[in-house]
Amino acid sequence: MIRVHLADRGTTTFSGSFQSAYQAAQAYIRDNSEPDPEKIDDDRPPGITKTGWENYNSPAKYRIAEVLGKADQPLLTMPIAEQSRVCRSTAGRILRIMELMGEARNVGVKTKAKWVKA
């Protein structure tokens, strides 16, 4: 009998002859130890690109949220980007995802977005 423990998977037992249990354990480890790229994005909401989701789940998002939280008036995208030390396009991408997630609101017009914390 061979027992295999993988983090986040638990313990699994393989029995039979040593050779067959060993082969089954090795196959189990191979199949379950490396993350499946399709399963990684399971928590990504529909309509959000992989690049956008990666930017959203970064330290830059927390800096942007901090800037929005401290603001006493709606801010344009560029001042938010400057204060949070990210480029304007990344700030805009993160702010749009924050809007979809209900964390920020655009109170301006499309060509001149002004952002507030939701």
Tell me the helices (H) and strands (E) count for the chain, helix number first.
Answer: 6, 5
Q: What would the pLDDT profile of 5-37 be if each residue is shown by its tens digit?
A: 776 667 888 888 888 888 888 888 888 766 655
Separation of first and last alpha carbons in the chain: 56
**CATH number for the segment(s) 50-117:** 1.10.10.10
pTM above 0.85, yes or no: no
**C-alpha dihedral over 80, 85, 89, 95, to 10 degrees?**
-50
Per DSSP, the three-state class of 68 is helix
Q: What would the pLDDT profile of 47-63 be if each residue is shown by its tens digit?
A: 788 788 888 888 999 99
